[in-house]
Amino acid sequence: MGALILVVDDDADWRNLLSRGLCQAGFEVTQAATGAEALARIQAVRLDLLILDVHLPGRNGYEVCEAVRRGKDYPPIIMISGIKMELEDREAGLRVGANCYFKKPVSAREVVAQVRSLLGMASALKNAESQEKGSDAWLEIGDYLRIHLKRRLVMTGGRKIKLTSQEFRLLAHLSQHIGQVVSANELLQKVWQDRSSIGRVEDSRLKSAIRRLRSKIEPDPEHPRYLMTVRGEGYYLCLHPKSD
């Protein structure tokens, strides 16, 4: 799956609704119903984003957010309040480290859009930091795939592989949005410089290129774990590939 997101809310119906929307958008989702359960889950897995209800049993969302922000590496945080939200509530959420704050009722679609935006910014920041490291800036995906954008190198399982310039551009563009679904339309415009592709859902050139790229970077191209498809939406590089 794509980026791993933790949804924390004591309302099971809303939690499941939002989780379904995120899964349909290509993300991997785990859930928690209390603050204590959320903190335990955060310590057990490496999250890419946290969606956090304010009013939770036991430790509330503000306390959980503060605890997460005290860690060395912390994910973007979206906070959601189910009560009438005053200005002070929003300020409190942002003060403890939330990246944005929603008030219920809010549509799952709106939250998913914000998730994509935050992950995009996090990805851009990570890429910028990698470029600052110079010649040692390897992007590591799982324990198998490594990409060096500046030196135009790709390694799988410790071995250097050869890509065509087009295949590298395709992989590079996906790696700049790692964990996010990139539409076929965008790939055609960015990789092939095809402005006539606007509005096009699919293209045989892209399908063929994806197939060739998978044959070179996937351990098992027939069962891809790194270069994934979201039917009707596009493709993404998996942030946390599942092990065999």
Higher local confidence (pLDDT), 167 or 177? 167
Q: What pLDDT was estimated at residue 182?
A: 83
Whole-number Å distance between alpha carbons of 127 and 170: 16
Express as a percent the part of the chain with pLDDT over 90: 31
Residue 147 falls within a domain, yes or no?
Answer: yes
Q: What is the CATH number of the domain that holds 214?
A: 1.10.10.10
Residue 243 falls within a domain, yes or no?
Answer: no
Three-state DSSP state, 135: helix
Q: What pLDDT was estimated at residue 215?
A: 95
Whether residue 8 is found in the same domain as residue 100:
yes
Whether residue 58 is found in the same domain as residue 115:
yes
Q: Last residue of some domain: 98, 120, 142?
A: 120
**Residues 98-120, mean pLDDT to the nearest whole number:** 85
Question: Does the structure show a pLDDT above 80 at 162?
Answer: yes
Contact 224, 216 (CB under 8 A): no
**Residues 98-124, mean pLDDT to the nearest whole number:** 82
Nearest to 140, CA basis, from 130, 125, 151? 130
Phi-psi region of 58 (alpha: psi -120 to 50; beta: other; left: phi over 0): left
pLDDT-based confidence at 70, cuts 50/70/90?
Answer: confident
What is the residue-wise DSSP string for 157-183?
Answer: TTEEE---HHHHHHHHHHHTTTTS-EE
Beta bridge pairs of residue 29: 5
pTM as predicted: 0.56
pLDDT digits (tens, 9 = 90+) for 33-47: 999 999 999 888 888
**Residues 197-214, mean pLDDT to the nearest whole number:** 77
Nearest to 53, CA basis, from 62, 44, 66, 41? 62
Task: For the beta carbon of residue 68, count every other beta carbon within 10 angstroms.
Answer: 21
Whether residue 46 is found in the same domain as residue 145:
no
Mean pLDDT of the chain: 82
Question: Does the structure show a pLDDT above 60 at 199?
Answer: no
Q: What is the CATH number of the domain that holds 79?
A: 3.40.50.2300
The number of distinct structural domains making up the chain is 2
Residue 106 falls within a domain, yes or no?
Answer: yes
Q: What pLDDT was estimated at residue 46?
A: 85
Q: What pLDDT was estimated at residue 205?
A: 86
Whether residue 22 is found in the same domain as residue 84:
yes
Question: Does the structure show a pLDDT above 80 at 214?
Answer: yes
Q: What pLDDT was estimated at residue 94?
A: 66
Range of the domain at 84: 4-120
Whether residue 58 is found in the same domain as residue 154:
no
Q: What pLDDT was estimated at residue 26?
A: 84
Exposure b/e, 96-134, CB count within 10 A at least 16 = b: bbbbbbbeeebebeebbebbbebbeebbeeebeebeeee
Whether residue 140 is found in the same domain as residue 217:
yes
